[in-house]
Structure 1
Amino acid sequence: MRMTFRCDPALEPHLPRPVPARTTLPDWLRRMPASAHSDLHGRDIRTVKQCPPFVDAMAHGVMILLPCDIQVERGAFSWDWDIPAPATAGHPRAPLSFHVAAQFEGAPFAHDRQSAIKFNSFWTIECPEGWSLFATHPVNRDDLPFRTVTGLVDADRFHDGGINFPALWIAPDYCGVVPKGTPVAQCFPVPREALELVYEPFDADHGIAYSETVAQVLAAPNVYRKRFRARRGRLTS
């Protein structure tokens, strides 16, 4: 599996590269204790820091990063990004643009005729034949002051133009800087082949396996991590 990222040669020295998502795990997750006391249980229980599916989802794929600091004053956005003119005709130079509210009128995330911001793309993305690019808000990152809108792009075919990432700004009173390098979209390739859905009741062997698996998970910690979690290959560049 190969994802190829390309950019304008004049801008390449100024752009943060897309990075493996596992390298952008947030500080709040690193600081979280492995266990915490539960009044309901009357004992310490494991936190989501010890939940491999929770962490693996956050570490999956690649992260697109904000290319420069963005100053925000209650919904007004500005930046001071000194970069050369792109060498490519029609290429954006601003880190942000916008979608007017009419473009998503009636959607559940539309609020008070508020425009959406759009994180402009400075990298094209090419996936192998038969694979599309799934782009979404950085997983479990409710700490970010925006919500990136999820999209699916056939990046094996559309790979010579930038993929932009629309987002809703959800912190109307925010005043401060969204720093360069902030994750703005989490991306990973997905196969486009049709799914075959099969439905069937447990047979005797599956019923026994279900009961044994549940009993093992309830009896000891880290059963999933030790017995079922697949080893992740390291991303290379």
Structure 2
Amino acid sequence: MTVEIVFRCPPEWDDILPRPIPGRDGLPDWLRAMPGQAHSVPLDQDVRTVKQCPPFIDAMGGGWLMPLLCDVSVDADCSFSWDWDLPVSSLDRLTRAPIAQHPSAQLDGVPFAAPGMAALKFNSAWTVSVPDGWSVLFTHPVNRFDLPFRTLTGIVDCDAFSHGFVHFPALWTDRDWTGTLPKGTPVAQLWPVPRGITARFGTLDGDHVGQVEETLDLIGDARGGYRKNHRAHNR
């Protein structure tokens, strides 16, 4: 099933804003550079790295990446600045700042927010629209623990909220990080998710037993068994 996402921005900024991109087009340089195999000292043999793990790669390459709108400089005291000369938009209530601050009190009692940790909001200038009956999951770019922030996860009903701007709350986790976050840095990753999913439970008996054995044989007899026999190719 194909689900179309529609991204819209103010017309005055269409030629300026970085666009959301498919996850596969935003794979990080470190993933491309890492080896496909590495030596395991405990096993005394070479093993495949996560670069050859389809679920790991497919998660990173799935969905769409939402970009940082412009270069943002970060000083040692976690102060943020930017130099971005945007034309005036007809949407006069739309912020022109790429980053805003959340009051730290909003995180009181959250176990993963250390006292004094900067609470940010990455602003977006793109609306997101999906078909009726679908929501959108927004989360931190998958497996991107190299980034100095952690975007919080949320779900938005973007079939109804198709003309509102979804911004991305985040925690600045690396207090020692200074420098410039470049324009286009992925600040969130999104997937459409259907609503109304139900579940049922059963046991692995009857034909399911044989199917489990067949699956285990296919993935155990040769390297790449999951990739060759079970992985979808129409991504």
Aligned to 2:120, what secondary structure does the other structure show? strand
> Which of 28, 39, 48 is equivalent to 1:26?
28
Aligned to 2:46, what secondary structure does the other structure show? strand
Give the aligned partner of residue 123 of structure 1: 126
Give the aligned partner of residue 145 of structure 1: 148
> Which of 74, 85, 89 is equivalent to 1:72?
74
1:71-100: CA deviations, max 9, x gaps? 001211001111112221201101000111
CA contact (8 A) 2:218 2:229 kept: no
Q: Which stretch shifts more, 217-226 or 163-172?
A: 217-226
The one-letter code sitting in structure 1 at the alignment partner of 2:98 is P
The one-letter code sitting in structure 2 at the alignment partner of 1:167 is A
Deviation at 1:107, TM superposition (A): 1.1
The one-letter code sitting in structure 2 at the alignment partner of 1:189 is P
CA distance, structure 2, for counterparts of residue 28 and residue 89 of structure 1: 40
1:85-125: CA deviations, max 9, x gaps? 22212011010001111112111222114341100110011
> Which of 158, 163, 168 is equivalent to 1:165?
168
> Which of 78, 85, 94 is equivalent to 2:88?
85
Deviation at 1:201, TM superposition (A): 1.9
Q: Which stretch shifts more, 104-113 or 168-177?
A: 104-113
Identity of aligned residues (%): 50
Deviation at 1:163, TM superposition (A): 0.3
Give the aligned partner of residue 94 of structure 1: 97
Deviation at 1:209, TM superposition (A): 2.4
CA distance, structure 2, for counterparts of residue 115 and residue 35 of structure 1: 38
Give the unaligned 5+ runs of structure 1: none
The one-letter code sitting in structure 1 at the alignment partner of 2:212 is Y
Aligned to 1:14, what secondary structure does the other structure show? coil
Aligned to 1:212, what secondary structure does the other structure show? helix
How many pairs were matched up?
232
CA distance, structure 2, for counterparts of residue 114 and residue 30 of structure 1: 32
Give the unaligned 5+ runs of structure 2: none
CA contact (8 A) 2:117 2:173 kept: no
CA distance, structure 1, for counterparts of residue 179 and residue 163 of structure 2: 35
The one-letter code sitting in structure 1 at the alignment partner of 2:173 is I
CA contact (8 A) 1:100 1:114 kept: no
1:165-187: CA deviations, max 9, x gaps? 01000111211111111100001
Give the TM-score, by structure 1 length.
Answer: 0.94
The one-letter code sitting in structure 2 at the alignment partner of 1:159 is S
Give the aligned partner of residue 3 of structure 1: 5
Aligned to 2:145, what secondary structure does the other structure show? coil
Deviation at 1:216, TM superposition (A): 3.0
Give the aligned partner of residue 210 of structure 1: 212
> Which of 33, 57, 60 is equivalent to 1:58?
60
Give the aligned partner of residue 48 of structure 1: 50
Give the TM-score, by structure 2 length.
Answer: 0.95
1:12 aligns with 2:7: no
Give the aligned partner of residue 133 of structure 1: 136
> Which of 141, 156, 159 is equivalent to 2:159?
156
1:58-83: CA deviations, max 9, x gaps? 01111101111110012110011111
The one-letter code sitting in structure 2 at the alignment partner of 1:216 is L
